Structure 1
Amino acid sequence: MIRKGIKMKIFKDFYDEYMKRHDEIWPEMVDMLREYGAKNYSIFLDPESRSLFAYLEIEDEELWNKSSETEICQKWWKYIKDIMEINEDNSPVSVELKEVFHLD
């Protein structure tokens, strides 16, 4: 299992909207995440810095990377582009974090 940590950033004063959208996540988005190998997926917020920290476990990096090409992922990115920092392709600006410690 591959553990991934990713940092993103939400726009100021959009915490409630971000929570609402994730509380109402589309079933087809959840299906896609699972189909592309996501397990044990959590997102945490530091409201002071507006930083989001995502943690997930995947089985296959190559398969996971293909998830961004799916129609549902592209639709989700358009749906959240107004509440968080994004790249030109609407994907969230994200920084992959290096694992430095793991207690099994």
Structure 2
Amino acid sequence: MSSTSAHAQHRVCFQLQVKPELIPEYRRRHAAVWPDMLRALKSTGWNRYSIFLRPDGLLIGYFETESLAASQSGMAAIEVNARWQAEMGAFFVALDGAPDTGFVQLEEVFNLAAQLDCLAASSVA
């Protein structure tokens, strides 16, 4: 967990698999995401959100939020998200639910800043 503001931010990293034949269209759609979708993500706490895509369709997403559950439920209450998720769902292999809730969350096993903070704290003591 890192702190990027006055409130603790949880780092969320997730994985999905884009269907290989749909990668060009997936890239096109994300080159210019709908402005109301961008505003909805920001207003519901999806901070520092990035998506990375491997040539074979492996997708890794990352964002920071005060609460994953609150960010997801906030998006669920916004109409534009329902339209976006309905359109994006077809791009993924073996998706259980909407993309914004059906992803596989990855466990963080190393964080440089956190370890450096611990090292600095132990050398002060």
Q: TM-score range by the shorter chain?
A: 0.7 to 0.9
Alignment root-mean-square deviation, CA: 1.5
Paired with 2:43 and 2:84, the residues of 1 have a C-alpha distance of: 16
> What are the residue-to-residue correspondences of 1:53-68 with 2, within 5 Å?
53-68=60-75
CA apart distance, 1:17:
0.5
| Structure 2 unaligned regions, length at least 5 | 1-8, 114-125
Secondary structure of the 1:42 match is strand
Give the ranges of 4+ consecutive aligned residues of structure 1 lying more than 6 Å apart after TM superposition.
Answer: none
> What residue number does 1:7 align with?
15
| Structure 1 unaligned regions, length at least 5 | none
Contact map agreement 1:7 1:97 (CA 8 A) in 2? yes
Paired with 1:80 and 1:65, the residues of 2 have a C-alpha distance of: 16
User: Which structure has the larger Rg?
Assistant: 2
Does structure 1 residue 33 correspond to structure 2 residue 29?
Answer: no
Contact map agreement 2:40 2:75 (CA 8 A) in 1? no
CA apart distance, 1:65:
2.4
CA apart distance, 1:68:
4.0
**TM-score under structure 2 length normalisation:** 0.73
Larger RCO, structure (CA 8 Å, separation 6 or more): 1
* Number of residue pairs the alignment of both structures matches: 101
Paired with 2:69 and 2:21, the residues of 1 have a C-alpha distance of: 35
**TM-score under structure 1 length normalisation:** 0.86
Tell me which amino acid in the other structure corresponds to 2:105: E
